[in-house]
Amino acid sequence: MPYMHQYDYIFAISVLFAALDAFNIGANDVANSFATSVSSRSLTLRQACLAAALMEFLGAVLVGAKVAGTIKNGIISLSAFQGNAGVEMLGFACALAASATWLMIATRNSWPVSTTYSIVSALAGVGVAIQGADAVKWGWNDSKGIAAIFAGFIIAPGISAGFAIVVYLITKYAVLERKNSIKAGLMFAPLYFFTVTAVLTMSIVYKGAPSLKLNKLSQTTIALAIVLTSLVVAILSILFWLPYVHAKVVKKDYTIRWYHFFYGPLLWKRPAPVESLEHAHQHVPDYRVLGRDDEQQQHQDQVNEKRGSASNSEDGMNPSTHPSTLPIEGQDNSPNSHKNKNLELERDVEAEPAQTQTRQRVPLEEVEVDPKTQIEGLWILPRNLWIIVRYKIPKILTHGSSVDIHAMQAGNGSKQANRIHEMHERASQYPNETEHMYSFLQVLTACTNSFAHGSNDVANAVGPFAAIYYIWSNGEVTPKDTPTPTWILAFGGAMIVIGLATYGYNIMAVLGNKLTMHSPSRGFSMEFGASITVLLASQYGIPVSTTMCITGATTGVGVLSSGWKGVNWRALGWIFMGWVLTVPVAGIAGGCLMGIILNAPHF
């Protein structure tokens, strides 16, 4: 093959920035997609990382976008490169570098941005640097031009908020507000599964599987496939899901395990366990954001009392005469002030074990350290290398999936925590048993959206890289449709997974409960509303971003359930600023980088 080895350095640099771009897509784009599931406690952070890893990788490799030319989005024409393969290769490399750098900055500062807009803006900047403003299509251009990008700032959140509000209204008055919400939820569940499966199947057909060309089938075949798939899932939900959930939420069977799900109809005859106060609260998870503090407050007070006693004993003071326990003149010591004092304690509930260790820490010389994990001498020594590989690296790699997201979303500092607490107090909270039913639907929606995301948005990173690889390996400019090798899709999918697992928590921390109070029913409405928006947008050529869709849906449900003051508008302002900055920053960076290199002095 006529490899262009004179440009090996461009190819090597492109590999690094394509990896960085895909890494940040995982840390930024995928993270904000799963933030609702983690915030509502339908999934733990580790479960979300595992689910996203599987679905994103499968979506990228099995049905990933096979046409690299798609990522150009009509922003810049291939004729702008005037048949110069080296300049085209350099242009895509500069676009990758600009996009990856901006995404890293945004992710580091916890700004959820559109990864699609980032690479498209960078390509537009490269086009201006090569051929001037005329090389860029500034108009609508069949929903792929610059004008369409700016229109998406309003279109995507607005439409998504509308659909999410409709879904939540139906859920609220059909199930949540009913006198017997558990019974209503069980009755409506098969209909929910049918509808959700229909929308998600259409999303896979029309948006998530371009390489399979499912959208090229006849309309009758597509409609029949969608209806049959939805009907099968609805029937399976009746046979397996209903008896399993009935045993958990109605019988309150705390002995049931996940594998009992496959028992199906046999669970109807499974005897309920004898009621036990010790296990009465363990039949379903606790999804409440505020309510859990009521039952934990007594335990928290006891812990604080023990901490204070231990501290006083060490200082040689009597706890009853410690200054912190004495009334202060002018201080409100009424029972009503107890609620405000508890705000300081609520932030510490999740991190209690770590704080307990901190308060009971003994002097440094008395701390017992496992000698197996300590590095002594030069790190390059064989023993130290083994410690690094065996203990240090696994701890670093698993850190991103073990962070306490809920504690981070509670707010840093008393003022911020107070604002978030007051915002959450405005929202109604429903029984855990009812919310538990929606956690299944939310996980189904999140995983399917993740599969579609992996199959589509992996092209943001590997699309330009596939073009670079084609030019480097074939020694010619890319044709209109450039095939993407499977190994490149696997490479992009793997980096997306690593990005989410190691740094995705940084984006999740500013979303979810920090924007408005989440629960499985609310989170399901948000994700389903965003799914409907993305599906319709792909059908009618309306430019939308998954980031903007989920943010708009979150805002819509938050306003509906908690009022205008139930949404963190300050945080939303920062997020919107990140969207707006993406286009000029990525565009200018890509254009300046390309222009400097093209016009640099040389011998």
Determine how many CB atoms are found less than 10 A away from the CB of residue 104. Answer: 17
Q: Is the pLDDT of residue 344 over 50?
A: no
Q: Is the pLDDT of residue 19 over 90?
A: yes
Residues contacting residue 446 through CB under 8 Å, at least 6 positions apart: 33, 34, 36, 37, 42, 43, 48, 51, 527
Overall average pLDDT of the 382-408 stretch:
80
- Report which DSSP code applies to 483: B
- Report which DSSP code applies to 28: I
Q: 34 near 445, Cβ under 8 Å?
A: no
Higher pLDDT, 115 or 306: 115
Report the alpha-carbon angle 102-108-113, nearest 5: 55
Overall average pLDDT of the 158-166 stretch:
93
Cα–Cα dist 225/279, whole Å: 44
DSSP 272-297: PPPP-TTTTT-SS----SSHHHHHHH
Determine how many CB atoms are found less than 10 A away from the CB of residue 301. Answer: 13
Higher pLDDT, 326 or 564: 564
Cα–Cα dist 350/549, whole Å: 30
User: pLDDT, tens digit, for every residue of 57-113?
Assistant: 888 877 665 544 545 445 677 777 777 888 888 999 999 999 999 999 999 888 888
Overall average pLDDT of the 280-300 stretch:
58
Cα–Cα dist 87/436, whole Å: 56
Determine how many CB atoms are found less than 10 A away from the CB of residue 254. Answer: 17
Residues contacting residue 345 through CB under 8 Å, at least 6 positions apart: 297, 300, 304
Cα–Cα dist 554/557, whole Å: 5
Instruction: State CA 473 to chain mean position distance.
Output: 36
Q: What is the pLDDT of residue 326?
A: 35
Lowest model confidence (mean pLDDT) among 46-60, 82-96, 188-202, 351-365: 351-365
Which residue type occupies 134?
A: D
Q: What is the pLDDT of residue 31?
A: 80
Overall average pLDDT of the 287-304 stretch:
50
Helix locations, 259-392, DSSP H? 291-315, 337-349, 352-359, 382-387
Average per-residue pLDDT for the chain? 78
| Exposure of 411 in the CB half-sphere (CA atoms within 13 A) | 23
Cα–Cα dist 465/598, whole Å: 20
Helix locations, 520-568, DSSP H? 520-540, 546-562
Q: 124 near 587, Cβ under 8 Å?
A: yes
CB-based burial, 378-403: b 16+ in 10 Å, e otherwise: eeeeeebeebbeeeeeeeeeeebbeb
Cα–Cα dist 26/314, whole Å: 48
What is residue 67's three-state secondary structure? strand
> Model confidence at 392, in pLDDT bands (50, 70, 90)?
confident
Which residue type occupies 302?
A: Q
Read off the tokens for 372. Answer: 């197996």
User: pLDDT, tens digit, for every residue of 228-277?
Assistant: 999 999 999 999 999 999 998 888 888 888 889 999 999 998 887 776 54
Higher pLDDT, 132 or 91: 91
pLDDT over 70, % of the chain: 77
Cα–Cα dist 424/418, whole Å: 10
What is residue 259's three-state secondary structure? helix
Q: Across-strand partners of 67? A: 483
Q: Across-strand partners of 483? A: 67
User: pLDDT, tens digit, for every residue of 431-479?
Assistant: 888 999 999 999 988 888 788 777 777 777 888 888 889 889 888 877 7
Cα–Cα dist 184/471, whole Å: 59
Read off the tokens for 215. Answer: 């959208």
Q: What is the pLDDT of residue 141?
A: 65
Residues contacting residue 542 through CB under 8 Å, at least 6 positions apart: 143, 152, 155, 159, 536
Q: How many helices (H) and strands (E) does the chain have?
A: 23, 0
Q: Is the pLDDT of residue 418 over 50?
A: yes
Q: What is the pLDDT of residue 111?
A: 86
Q: 484 near 511, Cβ under 8 Å?
A: no
Instruction: State CA 522 to chain mean position distance.
Output: 16
Rg (CA), the chain: 27
Q: What is the pLDDT of residue 93?
A: 93
Cα–Cα dist 499/406, whole Å: 20
- Report which DSSP code applies to 410: T
Q: 446 near 67, Cβ under 8 Å?
A: no
Query: Does the model's pTM come out above 0.75?
Result: yes
DSSP run (H or E) holding 118: helix 115-131
Read off the tokens for 317. Answer: 């003071």
Nearest to 109 by CA among 591, 593, 582: 582
Q: What is the pLDDT of residue 237?
A: 94
Q: Is the pLDDT of residue 17 over 90?
A: yes
Overall average pLDDT of the 476-503 stretch:
83
Q: What's the full length of the chain, in residues?
A: 603
Q: Is the pLDDT of residue 590 over 90?
A: yes
User: pLDDT, tens digit, for every residue of 307-317?
Assistant: 444 444 444 44
> Model confidence at 595, in pLDDT bands (50, 70, 90)?
very high
> Model confidence at 215, in pLDDT bands (50, 70, 90)?
low
Nearest to 493 by CA among 10, 22, 4, 15: 22
Q: Is the pLDDT of residue 299 over 60?
A: no
Q: What are phi and psi of 178, to 5 degrees?
A: -70, 155
Report the alpha-carbon angle 326-327-329, nearest 5: 135
